[in-house]
């Protein structure tokens, strides 16, 4: 007799919507809440999850915050609530999605390869 088992990491996105003004970039954005976890699978069937961590990613700039586990559990159970700034701990700074020309200073959020103002490659 033999066992087929494995340990992998997983991600679950939650259907949570709260619009806010981002503290990092100052833009209007939305919280995207997700959970990272480790799972033990026996015969390709997930049987046990542990190491659950809840995170919030900003839709405007991509900044990632770790969410208070108590709030994360309430969101995962489907409870409607508001996330407060004191429930978040910054994990990584977002990238801002802006390109700036080093020649003329033109800023754009578009995915251009060349500056539309002076023609220099970004």
CA distances, 68 to each of 2, 33, 46, 92, 109 (Å): 40, 12, 25, 16, 32
pLDDT tens digits, 61-111: 889 999 999 999 999 999 999 999 999 999 987 765 667 788 888 877 777
Ramachandran assignment for 60, one of left (phi > 0), alpha (psi -120 to 50 degrees), beta (any other):
alpha
Instruction: Read off the pTM.
Output: 0.73
CA distances, 13 to each of 25, 50, 56, 105 (Å): 23, 17, 10, 38
**How do the domains of the chain map onto residue ranges?**
5-95
Length of the chain: 122
Nearest in space to 10 (alpha carbons), one of 43, 51, 44: 51
pLDDT tens digits, 20-71: 998 888 889 999 999 999 999 999 999 999 999 999 999 888 899 999 999 9
């Amino acid at each position: 007799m033999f066992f087929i088992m494995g340990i992998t990491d997983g991600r679950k996105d939650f259907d949570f919507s709260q619009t806010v003004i981002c503290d990092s970039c100052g833009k209007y954005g939305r919280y995207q809440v997700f959970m990272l976890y480790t799972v033990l699978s026996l015969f390709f069937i997930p049987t046990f999850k542990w190491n659950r961590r809840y995170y919030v990613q900003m839709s405007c700039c991509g900044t990632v915050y770790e969410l208070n586990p108590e709030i994360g559990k309430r969101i995962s159970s489907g409870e409607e609530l508001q996330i407060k700034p004191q429930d978040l701990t910054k994990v990584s700074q977002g990238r801002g999605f802006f390109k700036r020309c080093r020649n003329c200073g033109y800023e754009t959020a578009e995915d251009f390869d060349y500056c539309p103002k002076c023609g220099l490659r970004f």
